[in-house]
Amino acid sequence: MIIKDIKLTIKMICPKCKSELKRVEIEDAKTPAISYQCKNCDYYNFEHESIMKIIDEIKQKELH
């Protein structure tokens, strides 16, 4: 038996209120920044890899 197209869902939980975090893409730069936000307590956190790409883009713009 061959199993194809398995999708894993990982739920991110808010460290403050234990509610589920929502994944949000913020598209103000060339590379979208991925943020995880809680609608109950306004907690948010950015995905490390995407925010580092945004910071690098900003630094490159400053050099030009």
Domain range summary for the chain, segments of one domain joined by +: 22-63
Distances (CA, A) of 2 to 5, 6: 10, 11
Structure confidence at residue 37 (pLDDT): 95
Give the H/E segment covering residue 24.
Answer: strand 22-26
Q: Which amino acid is at 24?
A: V
The pLDDT tens digits for 6-64 are 666 778 999 999 999 999 988 766 778 889 999 999 899 999 898 888 888 888 888 76
**Residue 28: what pLDDT?**
67
Which amino acid is located at 60 in the chain? Q
